[in-house]
């Protein structure tokens, strides 16, 4: 075509252009990686706590009538300053500085943000900022329920045990089912709860009061993880017409999704805090949280009941009339080796797990004490259970499931004694523990049982004696409680467990053990192991006896 000239490029030119472009791509990729890595390193997530709540207000309709009645019964003033929303001016001021503002907590008067060091410094200088709290980010390991075939004979035995161990028969005889008590559940999802037959009674009677997904900001929680499905079943689930999965089938529930399940970031802690604030609006008295944050976000010395924002909110819940029941965690045989947060909270009822085949703590159950040497867990419950799955029923394991069993127990106890404050309810659950007043850092006060909560529990005080003699303290068991033997001295029945600890004058444990009582002289302790004022506390078959070192 006239006016057009063709150009030719020889192979050497093409090769040169290709090499130049390849070099430019490598440099560009390197530059982008450096910039991206720098951005990742430079940014960090955390919390901004404000000094006050300037110009905040609360509508009269914020709390429903049930919530108002609960607060009136417990003499809790409302609306309190902590109920008021965070100042819009404060939030907008932080938004102008930070890279990301994830959301805010009323109770903590704080916002969760992600920012660079320079931005954090600028935010800290704002006149209305009281405190900043930076955190690392990482992955939270969630122990999810497995999917199993329909209930087998062995699963039927295990299912019957998990409620019988907490004395459900005594609750039923007293007409106690959790009726009238509102329980919140925060978890990673409740897959299938809207159709599963184990929850038909909750759906048909309108006892699922509200649901909300704080990660997606909508009301649908019936997808994602099935972990919450098994957890809820261990509070209020039924199997068929006659078998219970949890001990409180007539509670009313409020469900919130706050966990991603396979990753952990500041959004989850914020979602958890927002969820319990939201649940307060519906008057829940108990919240079960089968989750915890450990080495991906905190150090062990921070498990002190006051450092993490999530435990601060859990402690605040008590002032609102709410008891948090939290799993201790599954790090007993892991590298972390102790409980996480918010299980470290002083006002949190922390639950460890027992093995139903031995009735002692499982190896995976996270032990205490807290970093400041407080007793944790408070109590234990079966941690190998049968729960609801999206495809039916199946066996699953973890403190995630011992916690809701205790949450249901607490709901029954509250129904029987509705005037209890959250702390009084916590203490009442502890006192119902089958080991109480003995305790240790794996079992707490033991498995709560309804007969003790109802004052129907009787024991034989002659089951053993503590007998100091010379350099030793002997523990002698009544032969009537020893296992049967055959002619060849083989055991015909399993031995019973004897527990002992040595506590200092502050109640901190120097040592504790669980042993099998197979001989009349079950155990002896050298007196030199005890320091002046130390208490040796021994528990066997419902009886606790003590010896105090002179």
**Boundary-marking domain end, from 453, 482, 501:** 453
Q: Are residues 389 and 500 in the same domain?
A: no
The reply to whether 1 falls in a domain is no
Higher pLDDT, residue 198 or 41 = 198
Domain count, the chain: 4
**Boundary-marking domain end, from 394, 420, 453:** 453
The reply to whether 7 falls in a domain is no
Q: Are residues 296 and 422 in the same domain?
A: yes
Q: Are residues 57 and 33 in the same domain?
A: no
What pLDDT is recorded for position 217?
93
Q: Are residues 364 and 398 in the same domain?
A: yes
Ramachandran area for residue 141 (φ above 0: left; ψ -120 to 50: alpha; else beta): beta
Q: Are residues 32 and 48 in the same domain?
A: no
- Three-state SS at 523: strand
Q: 467 and 477 in contact (C-beta within 8 Å)?
A: no
Residue 537 has which token pair? 């506390």
Residue 416 has which token pair? 């029987």
Q: Are residues 311 and 371 in the same domain?
A: yes
Q: Are residues 322 and 374 in the same domain?
A: yes
Q: Are residues 284 and 171 in the same domain?
A: yes
What pLDDT is recorded for position 5?
37
Range of the domain at 502: 464-548
pLDDT level of residue 522 (50, 70, 90 thresholds): confident
Question: Quick one: angle between helices 266-280 and 309-319, nearest 10?
Answer: 10
Q: Are residues 395 and 485 in the same domain?
A: no
The reply to whether 143 falls in a domain is no
Higher pLDDT, residue 5 or 125 = 125
Tens digit of pLDDT for each residue in 179-235? 999 999 999 999 999 999 999 999 999 999 999 999 999 999 998 899 999 999 999
- CATH code assigned at 520: 2.60.40
Strand partners, 440: 444
**Boundary-marking domain end, from 395, 419, 453:** 453
Q: Are residues 470 and 421 in the same domain?
A: no
pLDDT level of residue 39 (50, 70, 90 thresholds): very low
Residue 95 has which token pair? 């938004």
What CA–CA distance (Å, rounded) separates 156 from 212?
33
DSSP string, 83-150: GSPPPHHHHHHHHTTSSEEEEEETTTTEEEEEE-HHHHHHHHTSTTEEEEEEE--B-----PPPP--S
Q: Which DSSP symbol is given to 353? A: E
Q: What is the pTM of this model?
A: 0.84
Q: 305 and 349 in contact (C-beta within 8 Å)?
A: no
What pLDDT is recorded for position 263?
64
Q: 453 and 168 in contact (C-beta within 8 Å)?
A: no
The reply to whether 187 falls in a domain is yes
Tens digit of pLDDT for each residue in 390-429? 888 999 999 999 999 999 999 999 999 999 999 999 999 9
Residue 33 has pLDDT above 80, yes or no: no
The region of weakest confidence among 81-95, 410-424, 460-474 is 81-95
Q: Are residues 187 and 81 in the same domain?
A: no
């Amino acid at each position: 075509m006239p006016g057009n000239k063709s150009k030719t490029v020889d192979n050497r030119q093409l090769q040169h252009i290709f090499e130049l472009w390849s070099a430019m791509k490598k440099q560009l990729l390197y530059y982008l990686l450096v910039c991206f890595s720098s951005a990742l390193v430079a940014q960090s997530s955390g919390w901004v706590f404000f000094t006050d709540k300037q110009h905040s207000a609360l509508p009269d309709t914020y709390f429903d009538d049930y919530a108002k009645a609960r607060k009136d019964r417990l003499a809790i003033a409302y609306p309190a300053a902590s109920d008021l929303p965070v100042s819009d001016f404060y939030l907008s001021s932080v938004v102008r500085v930070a890279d990301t503002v994830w959301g805010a907590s009323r109770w903590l008067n704080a916002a969760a943000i992600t920012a660079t060091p320079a931005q954090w410094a600028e935010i800290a200088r704002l006149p209305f900022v009281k405190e900043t709290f930076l955190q690392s980010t990482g992955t939270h390991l969630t122990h999810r329920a497995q999917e199993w075939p329909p209930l087998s004979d062995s699963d039927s035995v295990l299912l019957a045990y998990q409620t019988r161990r907490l004395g459900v028969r005594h609750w039923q005889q007293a007409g106690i089912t959790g009726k009238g008590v509102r329980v919140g559940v925060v978890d990673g999802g409740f897959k299938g709860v809207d159709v599963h037959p184990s929850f038909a009674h909750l759906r048909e009677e309108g006892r699922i009061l509200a649901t909300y997904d704080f990660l997606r900001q909508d009301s649908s929680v019936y997808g994602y993880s099935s972990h919450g499905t098994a957890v809820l079943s261990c509070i209020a689930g039924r199997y068929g017409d006659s078998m219970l999965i949890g001990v409180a089938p007539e509670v009313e529930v409020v469900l919130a999704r706050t966990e991603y399940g396979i990753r952990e970031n500041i959004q989850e802690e914020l979602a958890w805090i927002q969820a319990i604030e939201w649940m307060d609006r519906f008057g829940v008295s108990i919240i079960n949280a089968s989750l915890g944050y450990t080495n991906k976000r905190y150090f062990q010395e921070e498990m002190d009941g006051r450092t993490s924002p999530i435990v601060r909110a859990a402690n605040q819940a008590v002032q609102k009339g709410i008891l948090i029941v939290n799993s201790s965690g599954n790090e007993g045989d892991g590298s972390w080796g102790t409980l996480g947060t918010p299980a470290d909270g002083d006002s949190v009822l922390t639950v460890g797990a027992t093995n139903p085949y031995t009735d002692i703590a499982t190896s995976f159950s996270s032990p205490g004490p807290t970093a400041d040497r407080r007793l944790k867990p408070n109590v234990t419950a079966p941690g190998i259970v049968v729960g609801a799955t999206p495809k039916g029923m199946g066996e699953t394991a973890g403190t995630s499931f011992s916690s809701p069993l205790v949450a249901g127990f607490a709901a029954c106890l509250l129904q029987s004694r509705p005037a209890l404050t959250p702390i009084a309810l916590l203490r009442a659950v502890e006192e119902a523990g089958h080991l109480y007043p003995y305790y240790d850092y794996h079992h707490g006060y033991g498995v709560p049982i309804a007969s003790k909560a109802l004052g129907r529990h009787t024991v034989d005080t002659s089951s053993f004696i503590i007998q100091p003699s010379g350099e030793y303290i002997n523990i002698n068991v009544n032969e009537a409680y020893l296992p049967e033997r055959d002619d060849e001295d083989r055991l015909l029945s399993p031995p019973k467990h004897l527990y002992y600890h040595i506590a200092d004058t502050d109640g901190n444990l120097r040592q504790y053990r669980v042993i099998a009582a197979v001989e009349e002289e079950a155990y002896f302790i050298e007196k030199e192991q005890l320091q002046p004022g130390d208490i040796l506390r021994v528990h066997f078959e419902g009886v606790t006896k003590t010896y105090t070192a002179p």
